[in-house]
Amino acid sequence: MKILVSVKRVIDYNAKVRVKADNSDVDLANVKMALNPFCEIAVEEAIRLKEAGVASEVVVVSIGPKTVQEQLRTALALGADRAIQIDTEQMPEPLNVAKLLAKVVEAEQPGLVILGKQSIDSDNNQTGQMLAALTGRPQGTFASAVKVEGDKAVVTREVDGGLRTVELALPAIVTTDLRLNEPRYAKLPDIMKAKKKPLEVKTPTDLGVELKQHIELLKVEAPAARQAGIKVDSVDALVDKLKNEAKVI
């Protein structure tokens, strides 16, 4: 079985996010970029399924400018077999990503597509669901466990207040939640080897998809700055402040 993993390049989650002076967007100048953490989990799960003999090939795909090749190489170093970049100037919105992925799915016919549950930059949580709708494949979103049994995938989903286990007929779409696995680190020899693994570049035109923008970003605002805390000398002073200033007890 082939597994297709869709990975997004985002701001590294450790980096301090700055908003542009005109509030038009997040300032990406000189900011460290990385694999979206949920996509890292998706790559790890695919590699584990390959190591377990369930999958025979792991293909990673990313949509965006040439810089996304950096994240594709990271996924190749982690163990993916080959990569596809779909070259676009900007990071497209989820519906466009899903339409492009649907074309890749049509061409590659993977038994399983694994995506992150959400991008940590735009927090959409839409692409996997849209891809499932466009391809007519069953979906197991927010997965905290994935087991492939014959022509079915059993997916444990993290839902509000508990777990929900569903069985999907393959081919299917899965999106990863945080507890699915703990991704490995790429080893230096694997980073070197990844440079020689195949990376194919396609355009939306090659795939017959016209990108239409449906969403306009109006403005981005940083959260209000938090006030500095204070130290109190005693428990009595703390209780007094909680009672009379914060009025929470």
Please report, as ranges, the residues that interact with ligand AMP according to CB under 6 A.
Answer: 6-8, 36, 38-39, 42, 62-64, 91, 94, 97, 115-116, 118-119, 122, 124-128
CB of 129 to ligand AMP, least distance (A): 8
In the complex, which residue's CB is closest to ligand AMP? 116
Rounded to 5°, the CA angle 61-63-64 comes to 140
CB of 68 to ligand AMP, least distance (A): 7
CB of 92 to ligand AMP, least distance (A): 6
Task: Single out the residue of 92, 12, 72, 35 nearest to residue 194, CA to CA.
Answer: 72
Residue 57: CB atoms within 10 A of its CB come to: 15
Instruction: With beta carbons less than 8 A apart as the criterion, state whether 146 and 48 touch.
Output: no
Q: Which is nearer to ligand AMP, 130 or 243 (CB)?
A: 130
C-alpha 169/C-alpha 151 separation (Å) is 6
CB of 94 to ligand AMP, least distance (A): 4
Q: Which is nearer to ligand AMP, 37 or 138 (CB)?
A: 37
Instruction: With beta carbons less than 8 A apart as the criterion, state whether 113 and 174 touch.
Output: yes
Instruction: With beta carbons less than 8 A apart as the criterion, state whether 95 and 128 touch.
Output: no
Q: Which is nearer to ligand AMP, 159 or 192 (CB)?
A: 159
Q: Which is nearer to ligand AMP, 46 or 247 (CB)?
A: 46
